[in-house]
Amino acid sequence: MQTILDLLGSFFIGGILLLMIMNFNLYTLSTSISSDKELVLQQNAKTIAEIVSRDLRKIGYNYTGSAIITADSNKIKYYADMQAPGTAGHGVIDVVEYVVVSADEKSGGDSTNVNLVRIMNSVDTLYGPHLGLTKFKFSYFDRYGVTTAIKDSIKYVKAEFWVHPTIKFKNVFITPVDSTFTYWELTISPRNI
């Protein structure tokens, strides 16, 4: 009888230890997936920021008039020479436009996602992948840092965007589901305006 009680006690303690090890393994796996997801979000936000930053810094480059054509919260249109010196097309003034459209307008996609569309000279349209982009907003400031809507007094362009996961993952240890997001903000002072 004592042997049966010893065996039952051993099985019970062994079962608890096995459950603890499995729970730790699941937690480690879940944390690893969450970390990878956050890394992908940060990489997507960085990619968007690099592209937008490069183009916005060129506002008014090699153009002598008022460089900004349109400036509102979801659209900017401006004149600039976008080609690098020594490349084909350098010296030709381009009209560059960034427009924020919902994914539904482009492809019937998820209504929470948006696409940032770059249109150059009204013909060269670049629809990038949404990269989890859910909100994008432009703001404009004068030389004193005060918000302005007057195109000739704009000296700073601020872009804010939110990137959410493109792949939904239910994490049993962290609630709510997919609450992870990345917010990125950049303020550009183009030298030529």
Quickly list H helices, 58-127.
Answer: 103-107
- What is this structure's pTM? 0.78
Below-70 pLDDT ranges, the chain? 104-111, 128-130, 168-179
Q: Return the pLDDT at 111.
A: 59
pLDDT of residue 71: 95
- For 152-166, what is each residue's pLDDT tens digit? 999 999 999 998 887
Q: Which pLDDT score is estimated for 115? A: 84
d(CA 153, CA 174): 47
Determine contact, residues 145/177, Cβ cutoff 8 Å. no
What's the CA gap between 37 and 165, in Å, rounded?
7
Domain boundaries, the chain: 33-188
**Strand ranges (DSSP E) for the chain?**
68-72, 75-80, 94-102, 114-120, 124-127, 133-141, 156-163, 182-188
